[in-house]
Amino acid sequence: MSARLWFCWGFLPLGALLLMGASRIHTHPAPGNLPLMVVFSAEQHGYLTPCGCSKPMLGGMPRRGEYLSQLAQKYSLIRVENGNLTKALDRQDELKAETLIEMFNAMNYDAINLGDKDFRLGLNYLLALEKRSKTPFLCANVQRQGALVFKPSVEVERDHEGKAQRFLIVGVVSEKGEAKIKSVNPDLTVQPVSEALQAMHETLSKPDTVKILLFQGRRADAEQIAKDHPQFHMIVYAQEGDHYSPARTVGQTVLVCNGQDGKYMGQSKLSANPDARLGQIEYVALGPDYADSSLIMQIKMAYLSRVEAENLLGQVQKRPTLNGDTFAGSAACEPCHQQDYRIWKASRHGDALKTLEDDKHDKDPECVVCHVVGLDMVSGFRNMQETPNLKDVGCESCHGPAAKHVKDPTIQLGKAGMDSCMQCHVPQHSPRFDFDTYWEKIKHGGSK
């Protein structure tokens, strides 16, 4: 490994190396004669890195960076992304979209298709985002006043074992997403995919070109497209859950889907068979075997700084508490419940915000919500300066706000139990949760 690195670096003057290191992932100069591989993925959904709540977890852009630079040593790569970069719900998703574009810039992507969720960011925002992108945004079937807003396709040429090979990459979004797209962009219309592809007939007939369709839509519709438009060698589809789907073929078209959240990457070697140019499909789990690319990690850390600078933590919507009481903080319980307090303090709940500080996620509302008391409630955690007594998963995370009980202990609190746990121990963050075994580790309340 280190010998190969040394060998490649020997080709480059130091200045060039620093320059590349500064802005792009080190992809190694292609020595020529490399075979060609297409790498595809979709629906990153704003999942920049695994949260780390349980281990091991799959996915994350820093691992993708490392995966791609390993592949680039052996293959000439085409890199395509099939849309829905984020869930497009709020300001944090805008920051994530901008961060992802910087990451794709650093990873030399060739095409980014747009999904219905991307359009939910708003057309003007998307156009501004496209200006920051070195990679073209594709959409062959969304129009404004009868004209396409984004490029329908992009042509790419790459070396395949010493010879140039042409690719045509087309992007479309399922017309089933029209209502969602129009709810934010009333002046846009979504043309049926088959109509849009019909209109591209001439482009799609180009000889000696490998044709890939990025389709932001479901498998059944992808199969229909493959029947109606057999020119495509590969259709990348989406919306199948977070696991990859086995490749299938319709005629000479191979249909592929790597699943949501970027946990798996799809890859396909170019084969010599002219009827099945993209035959061999493999899916690769982005597990801890892939180290984090330090460049992509830097971009992620810059994102966290923006989350902090914009004080997203301070802008979380607060709803009223269920029992109308306010939070008192765990320290207020200690004088009367000393043993419960000791057990709690020694448990992992008693240090849960520190865990986020160590990961630099302690100003990130997406994480803080489950690692403190009542972030999304009136009188709950705001920040370490104003509400230090509500840091960590405290007594009131499970027993509910208890200020009245603190003043007058004859005022009873609601029963805590399994339901309290399920606010936070959801499968995505605590896949091994089981009430009996988990309660055993934190049990208390026997004596006061």
Residue 316 sits in the site that holds ligand HEC (CB under 6 A): no
CA–CA dist 78, 268 (Å, integer): 10
Which listed range, 81-89, 188-196, 244-252, 329-337, lies at the site for ligand HEC (CB under 6 A)? 329-337
- Token pair belonging to 339: 């043993």
Shortest reach from residue 67's CB to ligand HEC, in Å: 21
Residue 434: CA atoms inside 13 Å, Cβ hemisphere, count? 4
Which listed range, 45-53, 168-176, 227-235, 298-306, lies at the site for ligand HEC (CB under 6 A)? 45-53
Shortest reach from residue 436's CB to ligand HEC, in Å: 9
Residue from 333, 363, 381, 390 that binds ligand HEC (CB under 6 A)?
333
Shortest reach from residue 342's CB to ligand HEC, in Å: 8
Pick the closer one to ligand HEC by CB: 256 or 395: 395
Pick the closer one to ligand HEC by CB: 277 or 391: 391
Nearest to 396 by CA among 420, 418, 412, 419: 420
Residue 52 sits in the site that holds ligand HEC (CB under 6 A): yes
Pick the closer one to ligand HEC by CB: 78 or 332: 332
Shortest reach from residue 25's CB to ligand HEC, in Å: 23
CA–CA dist 86, 138 (Å, integer): 16
Residue with tokens 């009868």: 146
Residue 87 sits in the site that holds ligand HEC (CB under 6 A): no
Pairing state between β 264-269 and 280-285 = antiparallel
Q: Which residues pair with 294 in a beta bridge?
A: none
| Residue ranges of E strands in 65-218 | 76-81, 111-113, 137-138, 142-144, 147-148, 153-160, 163-173, 188-190, 209-216
Residue 402 sits in the site that holds ligand HEC (CB under 6 A): yes
Residue from 53, 199, 250, 384 that binds ligand HEC (CB under 6 A)?
53
Pick the closer one to ligand HEC by CB: 280 or 323: 323
- Alpha-carbon 6 to chain mean position: 33
Residue from 41, 165, 260, 397 that binds ligand HEC (CB under 6 A)?
397
Residue 421 sits in the site that holds ligand HEC (CB under 6 A): yes
- Token pair belonging to 390: 């509500």
Q: How many residues bind ligand HEC (CB under 6 A)?
A: 62
Shortest reach from residue 265's CB to ligand HEC, in Å: 21
Residue 37: CA atoms inside 13 Å, Cβ hemisphere, count? 23
Pick the closer one to ligand HEC by CB: 159 or 334: 334
Pick the closer one to ligand HEC by CB: 210 or 421: 421
Nearest to 82 by CA among 275, 274, 260: 260
Shortest reach from residue 357's CB to ligand HEC, in Å: 10
Q: Please provide the distance, in angstroms rounded to a whole number, between the alpha carbons at the two ends of the chain.
A: 60
| Residue ranges of E strands in 251-311 | 253-257, 264-269, 280-285
Shortest reach from residue 150's CB to ligand HEC, in Å: 31
Residue from 200, 341, 363, 387 that binds ligand HEC (CB under 6 A)?
341
Three-state secondary-structure class, residue 249:
strand
Residue 410 sits in the site that holds ligand HEC (CB under 6 A): yes
CA angle 89, 90, 94 (to 5 degrees): 105
- Token pair belonging to 210: 């490998």
Shortest reach from residue 57's CB to ligand HEC, in Å: 10
Pairing state between β 36-41 and 264-269 = antiparallel
| Upstream peptide bond of 56 is cis (omega within 30 degrees of 0) | yes
Residue with tokens 């006061």: 448
Residue 430, amino acid: S
Pick the closer one to ligand HEC by CB: 224 or 420: 420
Residue 332 sits in the site that holds ligand HEC (CB under 6 A): yes
Which listed range, 52-60, 73-81, 290-298, 301-309, lies at the site for ligand HEC (CB under 6 A)? 52-60
Q: Looking at residue 175, what DSSP letter applies?
A: G
Pick the closer one to ligand HEC by CB: 266 or 350: 350
Residue with tokens 């896949």: 431
CB 222 within 8 A of CB 237: yes
Pairing state between β 111-113 and 137-138 = parallel
Residue 85, amino acid: L
Residues 342-371, mask of contacts with ligand HEC (x by CB under 6 A): --x---xx-xx--xx--x-x--x-xx-xxx
Residue 420 sits in the site that holds ligand HEC (CB under 6 A): yes
Residue from 337, 363, 377, 391 that binds ligand HEC (CB under 6 A)?
337
**Interface ranges with ligand HEC (CB under 6 A):** 51-55, 328, 330, 332-333, 335-337, 340-341, 344, 348-349, 351-352, 355-356, 359, 361, 364, 366-367, 369-371, 393, 395-399, 402, 405-406, 409-410, 412-413, 415-417, 420-421, 423-426, 429-430, 432-433, 438-439, 441-442, 444-445, 448
